[in-house]
Chains A and B, each alone.
Chain A
Amino acid sequence: MSAYLVALWAITLRESLRFLNQRSRFLAALVRPLVWLVVFAAGFRAALGLSIIPPYQTYITYEVYIVPGLCGMIQLFNGMQSSLSLVYDQEMGSMRLLLTSRLPRWWLLLCKLIAGVAVSILQVYVFLAIAAVFGITLPVLGYFYVFPVLILTGLMLGALGLLISSTIKQLENFAGVMNFVIFPMFFLSSALYPLWKMAESSPFLRDVCAFNPFTHAVELIRFAMYQSFNGMAFLWVVVSFAVFMGGSLIGYDPALGMSRRNPGGPQKGG
């Protein structure tokens, strides 16, 4: 096996074991979207009328509508969680091990990203399985079609986390990320309400939602779940991934980025 694949396998395995060992993280990752699905959606069903919009061929319940958004939410939170663990690794110093390896830095960061995506996809499928138990199902083929899309959306949201971790140097600053990244991204998207519904309230907010890469990640997932392809959403997600990943590589480049100040933990002494 090539040195590159060896490192990829080791990092993915380590991240997966870490995730499975942290039962509370696993539970929180599942409970969060399930609360939205079972409680929030039940309350909202009566308030929000949905018309037939692509990719749906018929009227759908609100629970069915928000499933793709909740899958996106799982990946969004997972991306931020990976980012948090990277900041933690930097504070604790273990990031140094990764950054001083003989393998290229871009590859090692990509391995971290891929490992995070693997964990997020595992979470999404467990969530979909539990949703199915509650009677909220997708077309059978949709479960397969959505897989490659989840890789792409996971990469995009993971790269966003990576970019954020390259700019944040202290765990204390992470609460700000929750307030200024996760919540606006989630609420200003098509995860909970279709954009036409948003336009009824505020055309400006609708435009903001349309500019939000998370909206396009959700739409790409939604269309794939119904065996359709949304080309515009695909393009947005690919371009966003490239921008976030490029920014992360700059951020972690010792000659250019933020890591110049503190590449892997505080230093004491000389």
Chain B
Amino acid sequence: MSTLRVSRVSYSYGAKLALDDVSFDLQPGRFCALLGPNGAGKSTLFSLLTRLFVTNQGTISVAGHDLAREPRAALARIGVVFQQQTIDLDMTVRQNLRYFAALQGLSGRTAARSIDAALERLAMQERAGEKARALNGGHRRRMEIARALIHDPEVLLLDEPTVGLDTASRKAITAHVHDLADTGLTVFWATHLVDEIRDSDDVVVLHKGRVLTHDRASNIAGDGPLIDAFIDMTNGTIEGAA
């Protein structure tokens, strides 16, 4: 059974169509990249998946819960890491996590246990008492990923989480999140950088608001590198449209 199902979703900003009849299913324990150039509609799709936007065209369901009809049940099963940093820099790592746990309705020992488990998964236990301001970009991102896991979601959404990070931090974060998928979590990772995608990953290619393909990365790449297939695909669409 799919944990995230997007079915025939469209969305427009006034007259401008940002998403056009988007459909795909994500399976548990899989790392799926949402690959698309800038302006493809990735962030709009993420805003719809997190219910920051709503649309009446198409449906989104999370672990069997329709996001429009049962928003609370659906949101409870989603962990989100936004493209933009959403940390209180004057609080410690643990305080930031505790605040988020409270927003999810978790408190006391339950919250403490979940926070410890999330910190352990991201190897951040030793940083728990540090002010977020003292962390480098990579560790701030890790903290945000740990935070997204506190309420034990089934789907983890990450919107270009490596933007602004150095190469070492990018690699480390990408590896960590692949490990999370191996534990059974469904990971949906928006990016425009193909080097963050492994051959065994699933890939949804989004361009100009449309899904061009949804397949295993190695199948999309064929005999050559994924980047070539991606450029061919997106250029082809541009030429076709022109």
B24 touches A (CB below 8 Å):
no
Contact of B41 among A1, A98, A268, A270 (CB under 8 A): A270
Alpha-carbon gap, A266 to B160, bound state (A): 14
Nearest to B14 among chain A residues (CB) is A261
A4, A261, A270 — most chain B CB neighbours (10 Å): A270
B219 touches A (CB below 8 Å):
no
Alpha-carbon gap, A10 to B102, bound state (A): 6
Contact of B83 among A9, A101, A263, A269 (CB under 8 A): A269
Whether A103 contacts B100 in the complex (CB less than 8 A), given A259-B52, A268-B83, comes out as no
Those of A207-250 within 8 Å (CB) of chain B: none
Alpha-carbon gap, A3 to B53, bound state (A): 25
Those of B80-130 within 8 Å (CB) of chain A: 80, 82-88, 90, 98-100, 102-108
Contact in complex: A267, B43 (CB < 8 Å): yes
Contact in complex: A103, B53 (CB < 8 Å): no
A92 touches B (CB below 8 Å):
yes
Contact of B103 among A21, A98, A254 (CB under 8 A): A98
| Minimum Cβ distance to chain A for residue B71 (Å) | 9
Whether A270 contacts B99 in the complex (CB less than 8 A), given A21-B90, A96-B82, comes out as no
Contact in complex: B160, A269 (CB < 8 Å): yes
| Minimum Cβ distance to chain A for residue B118 (Å) | 15
B220 touches A (CB below 8 Å):
no
With an 8 Å Cβ cutoff, the count of chain A residues facing the other chain is 38
Contact code string A95-112 (vs B, CB < 8 Å = 1, else 0): 011111111100010000
A142 touches B (CB below 8 Å):
no
- Total inter-chain residue pairs, C-beta < 8 Å: 116
Whether A263 contacts B47 in the complex (CB less than 8 A), given A6-B107, A10-B99, A96-B52, comes out as yes
With an 8 Å Cβ cutoff, the count of chain B residues facing the other chain is 46
Nearest to B36 among chain A residues (CB) is A270
Those of A85-101 within 8 Å (CB) of chain B: 92-94, 96-101
B23 touches A (CB below 8 Å):
no
Contact in complex: B52, A263 (CB < 8 Å): yes
A45 touches B (CB below 8 Å):
no
A14 touches B (CB below 8 Å):
yes
Contact in complex: B75, A102 (CB < 8 Å): yes
B206 touches A (CB below 8 Å):
yes
Contact in complex: B99, A14 (CB < 8 Å): yes
Nearest to B78 among chain A residues (CB) is A100
B42 touches A (CB below 8 Å):
yes
Provide 16 A-B residue pairs closer than 8 Å at the C-beta atoms, listed in order of the A residue: A1-B108, A6-B105, A6-B106, A7-B103, A9-B102, A14-B88, A21-B90, A92-B84, A96-B82, A102-B76, A103-B103, A103-B104, A103-B105, A265-B82, A267-B43, A268-B38
Give 12 A-B pairs besides A96-B82, A102-B75, A269-B83 with Cβ atoms closer than 8 angstroms: A6-B102, A6-B105, A97-B100, A101-B103, A102-B105, A259-B52, A260-B54, A267-B43, A267-B44, A268-B83, A269-B38, A270-B43
